């Protein structure tokens, strides 16, 4: 399992709020087209108007599969002028792995551990994104 983080920030020329809203909407559409239905999950986006928007995709994929998804997203975004010209996009992926010992735990505990890994990864991505702003 992997977590892809997509940070979308307004390009310096994008100042109108409605233009930014359209850019975010189009980005969501691109992400949804790139995902594998039933395997990948788009988590709720998070962001602040001055820092940009974070989108998180939980992918049922190993590192190689996550990199394929990452490449597909980059290609699709570059083909979408409404996103590529109105924003600055940073995408990265991080594997979510349980240790051999954790995989022996009951399923409920495994789910709790994955949820904690996702929460930690999301929090760190947002902190990192905020510290690189400006």
pTM for this prediction: 0.82
Enumerate the domain spans of the chain. Answer: 2-131
Between helices 63-79 and 17-34, what is the axis angle to 10°?
140
- Residue 27 host element (H or E): helix 17-34
Burial letters for 50-84: b for 16+ Cβ neighbours within 10 Å, e otherwise?
ebbbbbbbbbebeeebbeebbebbeebbeebebbb
Per-residue model confidence (pLDDT) at position 13: 60
Distance CA 15, CA 28 (A): 20
Per-residue model confidence (pLDDT) at position 68: 93
Per-residue model confidence (pLDDT) at position 117: 92
> Using one digit for the tens of pLDDT, what is the confidence trace for 38-97?
999 999 888 766 678 899 999 999 999 999 999 999 999 988 888 878 788 888 898 888
Distance CA 61, CA 83 (A): 26
| CATH assignment, 2-131 | 3.30.70.100
> Using one digit for the tens of pLDDT, what is the confidence trace for 10-27?
776 655 767 778 888 899
């Amino acid at each position: 399992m992997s977590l892809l983080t997509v940070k979308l920030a307004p390009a310096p020329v994008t100042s109108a709020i409605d233009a930014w809203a359209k850019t975010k909407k189009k980005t969501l559409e691109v992400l949804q087209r790139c995902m594998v239905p039933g395997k990948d999950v788009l988590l709720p986006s998070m962001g602040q108007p001055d820092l940009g928007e974070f989108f998180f995709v939980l992918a049922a994929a190993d590192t190689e599969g996550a990199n394929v998804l990452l490449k597909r997203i980059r290609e699709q975004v570059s083909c979408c002028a409404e996103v590529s010209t109105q924003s600055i996009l940073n995408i990265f992926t991080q594997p979510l792995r349980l240790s051999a010992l954790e995989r022996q735990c009951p399923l409920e505990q495994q789910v709790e551990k994955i949820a904690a890994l996702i929460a930690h990864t999301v929090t760190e991505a947002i902190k990192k994104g905020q510290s690189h702003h400006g």
